[in-house]
Structure 1
Amino acid sequence: MNKYFLLAFIVLSLSQVLGRCGTLTLNTKKEITKVVSQYRDTLSIVCLYQDSLGNAISTDSVYILYNQDMTPFCKIEKNEEGDPVCEKLKGKIVSYYPSWSIITLFSRDFNKEYMEVEVGGTWKLLNKKSIHRSCDLRNFLQSLWYTPQLGDSLYSLDRKSIKKVKKSDMTFNIIDVQGDWIKLKALNNPSCYWFRWKNNCSVYQDRLMYE
């Protein structure tokens, strides 16, 4: 067996055991870095209550997320106003908009019964029997718009020059996804840029626009 393949396999196994989100320090050959990079890109998206196109998934489900030792971490349920809420998720997942019934998390397969979902840099467990909708990360992002905020950095296509966002009403289509980066095309404008929308599993909040 090729020694670099063996090392890559060991690195990926440790990543799964530790439950990290791809924040490994590698002091090995380029082959291992490439394999780990591909592993990071296997993230999927799980939507609860409503998907990215505004289609209802569930209206009254109660979800329980578990720690890796199967102790309860949090419960997601609707409040008196009918909004699905859980303060432990606020600012720690892909999207958390209770008033729009949007709760979206990074996910990956765990075993036959559970999937892993990412909350604030740690992996929790969600029963696969819970009503949800899973989708490919690329397809999910390309179904949305993106609205950078003032001061955000837009990179040229070769990523060598930077343009700072000076208008708060700029809206872009997402036309490509490469790891932490998304390729943006301005509406009614041929200009295209790269934007780093996340850092591993830490997402810049309030930029994704849903239906």
Structure 2
Amino acid sequence: MIKIFRYLLFSLFAFILFECQSQDKVLILYQGNYTEETKYKILNSDKSQFAEIKSVDGNEPSCSKLKGKILAYFDDYYIFHFRAKQSILPNYFEVQIGSVLKLIEKSNTMMLLSLEDYILKYYCSASKQNPLKISPNEKSKSISVNFEDVGFICLEIKGDWVKVKCNKECESCPNGKNIEGWIRWRRNDKIILKQYYNC
């Protein structure tokens, strides 16, 4: 009986560990004390090299294989963001590139964030397709704003919605009004929020 209990306890622990490792996160490169020589190798599952992000001839780092296939790619600003999770292999993350998973070795120039913390880290905007709402509900009334001119700071997450307020430090608030509302940031596990990574 004790053996069975121990087996069940171990199985439960293994299941919880697997679930924690499988949680979807975002991996951000070029954080902390990186230099112009900092580079990252993207590996296949057998650890053969798939691609490399690096600087060439003193230019900003780049990697043509990643363009249009990762969460955010703006090489002019050292922005390389991946949907990611902990790998079962020690010292590696699994990163999503297109529809496949690749490996990247852990480094102190990376930051791994939950999806929610990632959304709260950056600025955003509303759009006609994803308007600003009074409350976090599709049926809620939309708030009329000039989508081209008004940027927002993200304040808090509630389910698939993020509460925002107009960004006084960048685009400023129209007519000096402190506009607040809700924008949907996720639909069907896909990030649909239009984000800005610099003011």
Alignment TM-score > 0.5, same fold: yes
Match of 2:79 among 102, 105, 127: 102
CA distance in 2, matches of 1:190, 1:45: 29
Aligned residue type for 1:48: L
CA distance in 2, matches of 1:162, 1:60: 50
Deviation at 1:82, TM superposition (A): 1.6
Pairs within 5 Å for 1:183-194:
183-187=163-167, 188=173, 189-194=178-183
> Contact 1:155 / 1:193 at 8 angstroms: preserved in 2?
yes
> Contact 1:67 / 1:125 at 8 angstroms: preserved in 2?
yes
Aligned residue type for 2:125: T
- 1:139 paired to 2:139: no
Equivalent residues, number: 173
Summarize deviations over 1:76-126 as a string: whole Å, max 9, x none: 111335211112222222221111111122221113131111222322110
Aligned residue type for 1:44: K
Aligned residue type for 1:49: Y
Which residue is 1:29 aligned to?
Answer: none
Aligned residue type for 1:45: V
Give unpaired runs (5+ residues) of structure 1. 1-8, 17-35
- 1:125 paired to 2:103: yes
Aligned residue type for 2:60: D
Aligned residue type for 2:80: I
With the length of structure 1 as denominator, give the TM-score of the two structures: 0.65
Which residue is 2:197 aligned to?
Answer: 209
- 1:177 paired to 2:154: no
> Contact 2:132 / 2:181 at 8 angstroms: preserved in 1?
no
Alpha-carbon RMSD: 3.3
CA distance in 1, matches of 2:187, 2:78: 22
Query: Cα gap change, 1:182/1:58 in structure 2, threshold over 3 Å: closer, same or farther?
Result: farther
Match of 2:184 among 195, 200, 204: 195
Give unpaired runs (5+ residues) of structure 2. 1-11, 168-172
> Contact 1:77 / 1:84 at 8 angstroms: preserved in 2?
yes
Max Rg structure: 2
With the length of structure 2 as denominator, give the TM-score of the two structures: 0.68
> Contact 1:84 / 1:101 at 8 angstroms: preserved in 2?
yes
Match of 2:49 among 64, 67, 72: 72
Summarize deviations over 1:30-86 as a string: whole Å, max 9, x none: xxxxxx8x997x333222124xxxx65343222111223433221111133521111
Query: Cα gap change, 1:205/1:173 in structure 2, threshold over 3 Å: closer, same or farther?
Result: closer
CA distance in 2, matches of 1:49, 1:56: 8
